[in-house]
Amino acid sequence: MAEQQTLYDSIGEDNILQLVDDFYEGIEKDQVLRKLYPEDLEPAKNRLKLFFIQALGGRQTYTDERGHPMLRRRHFQWEIGEKEATLWLSHMNDALKKANFSEPLKDAFWEYVYKAALHMINK
């Protein structure tokens, strides 16, 4: 029986890395979300890259370096409402529009990040 390909395998690491870079271009310019991030975006950008690699079925470097993702708990220090989640998703959607992988893969990725963004709402 053949092993099922993960989203990581299907999308490819280079595409995941580019997607996160494109996403952060939007975050840098967003007046609402930018203030939730530290001045230097590189560490946050690198954490998101490692998180997506792991969450989509790639290597477990995120957990090896930072422990269990515990997304909601890690983000609880910031007030995240519908507005913030919607803006975050808007930037992710913009990055997905630029992405160099198939529409069905974009849809599968979107389904994952959409649920995750809603889960982060804490106010």
Q: Which fold has domain 9-120?
A: Globin-like (1.10.490)
What are the residue boundaries of the structural domains of the chain, listed by start? 9-120
| Helix segments in 30-102, DSSP class H | 42-55, 61-66, 71-75, 82-98
d(CA 85, CA 40): 21
**Confidence label for 76 from pLDDT (cuts 50, 70 and 90):** low
Phi and psi dihedrals of 70, rounded to 5?
40, 55
Tell me the two tokens of residue 111.
């389904």
Stated pTM of the model: 0.90
The better pLDDT of the pair 105, 80 is held by 105
Report the SS3 class of residue 80.
coil
